[in-house]
């Protein structure tokens, strides 16, 4: 009992000393003490804006090999700092085209941040990367060690996919869809470092609700924790400029923080370039219809300056986040398949009503469908693994090609991706009672690599080769990505090429490009339908 109270008193005394909120202006750095119960002291370099030290509960979390910063570091910046209302320390780092803010709120072990850009940083992407001590923070949340590449024995692909303990690993396998990615962390026994991201964090990012990129990587020298805003990895739209954020780099003990516990509205009082407070924003609400209950119903808004999204409720009703005034394209998604698009105007202080209905029409007669048409490869062979490992991983099922018999096999027997050098020539066998009328084959894909596209042979008839899809200059399926522009290829099959009884369709991957194995031209499937 006595020992316990002495211990408690010592802790109490210790936290009094370290809990002094404030800013210290040194020759080369600003040191910010958060004054939090779990102490946090961060040091920002005055010449570069690099965070060079993060001491949490007395332990240095910052890696000694590379610092924590926006992009790959600003190199040089004009760095200033001020204390506001005895409650906030705001560090401002300015270059000609970028202003980065780091804000510490008294009593909280968090680095709140926001980044204003008028041009893309020179490295060609916008991200904040914390490089932390991997002996203290070795693990990743929420996807575990899929992105732990320390201890690799072999390089599988490029300079970013490795073999560890017989498993393929890559920083890319830690990605999560923007719409779902509110909190991601690296952690150890009793410390978590996390990015917490409200809707506003993605407002000036690019790629839409289903975009995903690197979140975590225990790579050997350090553990990196990254928040990607504009990325060149499977990029499908132009980068946005303006204010990215606020977002927070948080430090906690054993718990993963919850977005709901964070309030970022104090940024309105801190003179942040490009910040638009709630009072200067409006909303869109309405009802989305026509998306079946087997799917997610997602509504998204975008224009050149901003992007937002929301899940609709089960009754289809939705309300947007607080959006900046302007004209937006509002899209409805059946999970990830775009099924409607319309324009909507939003003004500050008001809610615009706008209902949206799926324009997807069911064919008169569906003969069969393989997979579900939802903009994802979900359900196909290996789709349950592709986000988290390389297609060559020994845990993957054999890629085929197989002879898929409609009515006997199901989508889990059909490879999620067809590769020119691996499983081109995938077959579908089906029987028709009546071959007296034409039919249409539609192959929906989610992503093409190296212009890979399907050319089909129906029985003995070879259909025309489709035009090449719009090229995305980035690896895809091998890095856990599946979402690109999403092409749909339609083949009109004349009745003269069909027979009553057994028919076959062979899908070949064509492309002018070459490449070995899983880096050969390829495409990812969403669904395949035969209808009249
Ligand atoms: C696909 O069908 C063609 C034509 O019937 C046949 O030659 C080929 O062996 C089949 N491939 C597979 C993998 O079953
Ligand atoms: C389809 O695949 C699922 C999952 O592997 C399996 O449970 C089901 O039995 C399969 N159905 C048929 C008809 O093969």
Ligand 1 center to residue 512 CA distance, Å? Answer: 24
Both 332 and 375 in one domain: the answer is no
Structure confidence at residue 123 as a pLDDT band (50, 70, 90): confident
Find out whether 479 and 170 touch, Cβ atoms under 8 Å.
Answer: yes
Q: Is the shortest distance between the CB of 412 and ligand 2 below 6 Å? A: yes
Mean pLDDT calculated for residue range 501-519? 97
Residue 449: pLDDT above 60?
yes
Structure confidence at residue 122 as a pLDDT band (50, 70, 90): confident
Both 205 and 283 in one domain: the answer is no
pLDDT given at position 124: 80
Both 223 and 351 in one domain: the answer is no
Domain containing 31 — which CATH number? 2.70.98.10
CA dist 194 to 130, 191, 232, 437, Å?
A: 10, 10, 23, 59
pLDDT given at position 409: 93
Residue 11: pLDDT above 60?
no
pLDDT tens-digit map of 273-294: 999 999 999 999 999 999 999 9
| pLDDT, greater one: 6 or 123 | 123
Residue 491: pLDDT above 90?
yes
Which of 412, 413, 416 best tests ligand 2's pocket when mutated (most atoms within 8 Å of CB)?
Answer: 412
Mean pLDDT calculated for residue range 341-366? 97
Structural domain count of the chain: 3
Give just the sign of the alpha carbon dihedral 224, 228, 232, 233: positive
pLDDT given at position 19: 63
Query: Which residues lie closer than 8 Å to 326 by C-beta, 6 or more apart?
Result: 303, 305, 306, 345, 346
Residue 500: pLDDT above 50?
yes
Report how far residue 501's alpha carbon sits from residue 435's, in angstroms, rounded to the nearest whole number. Answer: 8
pLDDT given at position 442: 98
- Among the candidates 327, 357, 387, a domain finishes at 357
Structure confidence at residue 6 as a pLDDT band (50, 70, 90): very low
Q: Is the shortest distance between the CB of 427 and ligand 1 below 6 Å? A: yes
By CB atoms closer than 10 A (0-12, 13-18, 19+), residue 179 is buried
Residue 14: pLDDT above 70?
no
Both 343 and 381 in one domain: the answer is no
Which ligand sits nearest to residue 409's alpha carbon? 2
Structure confidence at residue 10 as a pLDDT band (50, 70, 90): very low
- Among the candidates 269, 303, 335, a domain finishes at 269
Both 66 and 159 in one domain: the answer is yes
Q: What is the DSSP string of 178-222?
A: TTT-SEEEEE-SS-EEEEE--GGGGTT-SS-TT-----EEE-SS-
Both 17 and 160 in one domain: the answer is yes
Report how far residue 299's alpha carbon sits from residue 347's, in angstroms, rounded to the nearest whole number. Answer: 19
Backbone angles phi, psi at 241, to 5 degrees: -110, 180
- Among the candidates 222, 237, 269, a domain finishes at 269
pLDDT given at position 217: 98
Domain containing 318 — which CATH number? 2.60.40.1120
Ligand 1 center to residue 431 CA distance, Å? Answer: 16
Structure confidence at residue 17 as a pLDDT band (50, 70, 90): very low
Residue 233: pLDDT above 70?
yes
pTM of the predicted model as reported, rounded to 2 decimal places: 0.94
Both 384 and 304 in one domain: the answer is no
Residue 162: pLDDT above 60?
yes
Mean pLDDT calculated for residue range 507-522? 96
pLDDT tens-digit map of 40-88: 999 999 999 999 999 999 999 999 999 999 999 999 999 999 999 999 9
The SS3 of residue 103 is strand
Both 207 and 229 in one domain: the answer is yes
The percentage of the chain sitting over the pLDDT mark of 70, rounded to a whole number, equals 96
pLDDT given at position 243: 98
Both 394 and 482 in one domain: the answer is yes
Both 147 and 184 in one domain: the answer is yes
Residue 2: pLDDT above 50?
no
Structure confidence at residue 1 as a pLDDT band (50, 70, 90): very low
Both 114 and 180 in one domain: the answer is yes
Residue 478: pLDDT above 80?
yes
Query: For residue 314, how many other CB atoms are within 10 A of its CB?
Result: 8
Range of the structural domain that residue 293 is part of: 278-357
Q: Specify the residue with its C-alpha closest to ligand 2, atom 9.
A: 410
Average pLDDT, the chain: 95
pLDDT given at position 15: 43
Ligand 1 center to residue 417 CA distance, Å? Answer: 18
Q: Per the structure block, which two tokens stand in for 300?
A: 């998204």
Which ligand sits nearest to residue 460's alpha carbon? 1
Query: Which residues lie closer than 8 Å to 102 by C-beta, 6 or more apart?
Result: 32, 42, 44, 51, 90, 91, 93, 111, 112, 113
Find how far residue 457's CA is from the centre of its chain: 36
Both 191 and 244 in one domain: the answer is yes
Domain containing 391 — which CATH number? 2.60.120.260
Mean pLDDT calculated for residue range 347-373? 97
Query: For residue 307, how many other CB atoms are within 10 A of its CB?
Result: 25
pLDDT given at position 3: 37
């Amino acid at each position: 009992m006595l020992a316990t109270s002495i211990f408690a008193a010592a802790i109490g005394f210790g936290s009094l000393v370290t809990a002094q909120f404030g800013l210290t202006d040194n020759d080369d750095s600003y040191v910010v003490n958060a004054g939090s119960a779990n102490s946090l002291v961060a040091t920002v370099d005055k010449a570069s804006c690099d965070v060079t030290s993060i001491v949490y509960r007395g332990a240095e979390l910052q890696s000694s090999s590379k610092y924590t910063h926006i992009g790959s570091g600003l190199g040089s910046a004009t760095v200033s700092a001020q204390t506001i209302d005895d409650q906030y320390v705001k560090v401002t780092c300015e270059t000609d085209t970028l202003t980065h803010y780091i804000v510490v709120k008294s009593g909280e072990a968090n680095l709140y941040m926001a980044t204003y850009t008028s041009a893309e940083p020179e490295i060609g992407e916008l991200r904040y990367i914390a490089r932390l001590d991997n002996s203290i923070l070795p693990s990743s949340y929420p996807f575990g060690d899929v992105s732990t590449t320390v201890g690799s024995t072999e390089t599988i692909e490029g300079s970013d996919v490795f073999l560890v303990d017989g498993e393929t690993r890559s920083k890319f396998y830690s990605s999560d869809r923007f719409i779902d990615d509110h909190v991601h962390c690296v952690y150890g026994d009793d410390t978590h470092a996390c990015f917490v991201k409200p809707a506003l964090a993605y407002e000036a990012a690019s790629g839409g609700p289903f975009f995903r990129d690197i979140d975590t990587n225990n790579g050997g020298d350090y553990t990196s924790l990254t928040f990607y805003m504009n990325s060149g990895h499977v990029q499908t739209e132009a980068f946005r400029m303006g204010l990215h954020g606020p977002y927070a780099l948080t430090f906690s003990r054993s718990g993963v923080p919850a977005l709901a516990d964070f309030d970022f509205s104090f940024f309105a009082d801190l003179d942040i370039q490009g910040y638009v407070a709630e009072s200067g924003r409006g909303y869109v609400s309405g009802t989305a219809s026509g998306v079946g209950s087997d799917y997610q119903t997602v509504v998204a808004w975008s224009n050149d300056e901003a992007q937002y999204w929301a899940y609709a409720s089960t009754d289809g009703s939705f309300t947007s986040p607080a959006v900046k005034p302007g004209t937006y394209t509002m899209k409805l998604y059946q999970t990830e398949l775009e099924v409607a698009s319309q324009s909507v105007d939003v003004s500050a202080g008001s809610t615009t009503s706008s209902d949206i209905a799926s324009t997807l029409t069911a064919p008169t007669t569906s003969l069969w469908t393989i997979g579900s048409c939802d903009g994802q490869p979900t359900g196909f062979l290996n789709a349950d693994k592709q986000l988290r490992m390389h297609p060559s991983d020994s845990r993957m099922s054999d890629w085929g090609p197989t002879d898929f018999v409609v009515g006997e096999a199901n989508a889990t027997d059909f490879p999620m991706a067809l590769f020119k050098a691996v499983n081109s020539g995938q077959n579908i066998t089906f029987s028709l009672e009546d071959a007296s009328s034409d039919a249409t084959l539609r192959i929906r894909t989610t992503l093409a690599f190296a212009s890979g596209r399907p050319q089909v042979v129906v029985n003995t008839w070879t259909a025309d080769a489709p035009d090449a899809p719009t090229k995305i200059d980035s690896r895809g399926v091998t890095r856990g990505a599946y979402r690109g522009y999403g092409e749909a290829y339609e083949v009109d099959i004349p009745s003269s090429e069909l027979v009553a009884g057994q028919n076959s369709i062979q899908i070949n991957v064509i492309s002018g490009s070459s490449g070995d194995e899983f880096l050969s031209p390829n495409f990812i499937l969403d669904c395949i339908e035969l209808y009249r």
